[in-house]
């Protein structure tokens, strides 16, 4: 691993910012413990029920069927959608979703903080993270379980 690697995690390990080339992504029910991306070794502190999704080669890979998607109390599902497939790429981190769902999320984010600008599937604000207005959590439903990503924890 080198500090010129394409993988941000490999670069972080090479620069001594993360102790080892390991990561885990916990998707937890939204009312008790937030979902989290852990860089480095897993500490084993997650004690709630685990929902497993088959991500093995030959399955749908990193794709999951989402039956509901919310930004705070606002549905991001277009009127003609009852479900969609989302692609989870934890190496970035990244969640791929249909354009209409992203357009709805983009609108919600830009309404929450006027400095947020979204372009070609990526949203950013050109200001210090501590100056960001609080954002609503992103919640989606897979396999009958609700999962929440606290959007303020995604600032870097």
- For residue 16, the model assigns a pLDDT of 78
Say what the pLDDT of residue 86 is.
83
Task: Identify whether the C-beta of residue 81 lies closer than 8 Å to the C-beta of residue 155.
Answer: no
Specify the higher pLDDT residue, 17 or 24: 17
> What average pLDDT does this structure show over 97-103?
87
pTM beyond 0.85: no
Residue 147 lies in a domain: yes
- Asked whether residue 149 is domain-assigned, the answer is yes
Q: Which of 39, 14, 36 is nearest to 26 (CA)?
A: 36
**CATH code of the domain in which 111 resides:** 2.40.70.10
Work out whether the CA dihedral 52, 53, 57, 59 comes out positive or negative.
positive
Mean pLDDT (the chain) is 75
Structural domain harbouring 86: 54-154
8 within domain boundaries? no
Which pLDDT does position 151 carry in this prediction?
A: 80
- The answer to whether residue 90 sits within a structural domain is yes
Among residues 137, 139, 138, 109, the alpha carbon closest in space to that of 124 is found at 109
Count of domains forming the chain: 1
Identify the residue with better confidence: 37 or 133: 133
Determine, yes or no, domain membership for 117: yes
Query: Does 49 fall in a domain?
Result: no
Whether residue 22 lies inside any domain: the answer is no
- The string of DSSP codes covering the chain is --TT-SSHHHHHHHTTSSSSS-EEEE--BTTTS--EEEESS------SPPPP---STTTTTTEEEEEEEEETTEE-S-TT-S-EEEEEETTTTEEE--HHHHHHHHHHHHHH-TTEEEETTEEEESS-GGGSPPPPPEEEEETTEEEEE-GGGG--
- The better pLDDT of the pair 154, 85 is held by 85
Residue 130 lies in a domain: yes
Considering only residues 131 and 62, tell me which one the structure prediction assigns the higher pLDDT: 131
């Amino acid at each position: 691993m080198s500090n010129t690697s394409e993988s941000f995690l490999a670069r972080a390990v090479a620069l001594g910012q993360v102790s080892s080339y390991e990561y885990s992504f916990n998707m937890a029910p939204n009312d008790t413990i937030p979902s989290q991306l852990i860089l480095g070794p897993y500490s084993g502190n997650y004690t709630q029920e685990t929902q497993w999704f088959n991500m093995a080669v030959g399955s749908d890979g990193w794709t999951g069927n989402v039956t509901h998607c919310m930004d705070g109390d606002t549905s991001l599902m277009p009127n003609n959608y009852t479900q969609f497939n989302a692609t989870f790429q934890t190496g970035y981190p990244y969640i791929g979703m249909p354009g209409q769902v992203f357009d709805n999320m983009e609108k919600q984010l830009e309404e929450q903080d006027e400095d947020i600008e979204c372009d070609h599937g990526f949203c950013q604000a050109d200001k210090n993270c501590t100056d960001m207005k609080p954002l609503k959590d992103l919640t989606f439903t897979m396999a009958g379980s609700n999962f929440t990503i606290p959007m303020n924890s995604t600032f870097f």
